[in-house]
Amino acid sequence: MTTGIDELIRALREKGALLDEMYQLLEEEQNCIIALDMARLETNQSEVDSAMGRLERLNGNCRNLLAKTGAALGLEDNGSLSPLIARTAGQERLALQGLQTDLTTSTTAVDNLLAMNRNLLQDSLGLVDRSLNFFNSLFNNPTTYGQAGTMRTNNGGARLVCKEI
């Protein structure tokens, strides 16, 4: 194996391990959301932020290695793995193809879990919003008729005081 491809394979394996860690953190986040465990969710969120920072740095490193290895193999402005796989042979090709498949699967799984967590949070906040609107309508009844026969309300506006629900 050439040094450039060797480095790239190591970086891609590290990225795969980090994506697996992200998936586990997002599963824990989902469990915290469902259990309404705000303290654990806050701790988990800091771990997710840290992992996202590492993933961003690793992505930059992988882009640089792709460009460097692509240039060594005669590819101009290489930004993806597929052209590199086409230019390599033997063990390098098999290793890169396996990593490409694994990373695609892991990325899709993380994206799906992120979407699910986002939907859970949006639905929860929508429920809170509907509840606040309901209590607003109970505590702030319309008091008089205004201009052109429309109701004027005495709207004090309910607010969340504590972030725990």
pTM above 0.85, yes or no: no
Does residue 53 fall inside a structural domain? yes
Q: 39: Cβ–Cβ under 8 A, 6 or more apart, which residues?
A: none
Does residue 151 fall inside a structural domain? no
Looking up tokens 């929508």, which residue turns up?
A: 126
CATH of the domain at 43: 1.20.58
Given a cut of 90, is residue 152 above it in pLDDT?
no
For residue 82, what pLDDT band results from cuts at 50, 70 and 90? confident
- CA dist 135 and 153 (Å) reads 14
- The pLDDT assigned to 27 comes to 96
For residue 161, what pLDDT band results from cuts at 50, 70 and 90? low
CB distance 69 to 5 below 8 Å: yes
Does residue 165 fall inside a structural domain? no
- The pLDDT assigned to 141 comes to 61
Given a cut of 80, is residue 86 above it in pLDDT?
yes
Share of the chain above pLDDT 70, in %: 82
Biggest CA-to-CA distance, the chain: 83
Does residue 103 fall inside a structural domain? yes
CB distance 91 to 1 below 8 Å: yes
- The pLDDT assigned to 142 comes to 56
- The pLDDT assigned to 83 comes to 85
Does residue 154 fall inside a structural domain? no
Number of domains in the chain: 1
Does residue 105 fall inside a structural domain? yes
Q: Which two three-digit tokens encode residue 63?
A: 């882009």
Average pLDDT, the chain: 84
- The pLDDT assigned to 12 comes to 94
Task: Supply the range of the domain harboring residue 58.
Answer: 3-137
Does residue 106 fall inside a structural domain? yes
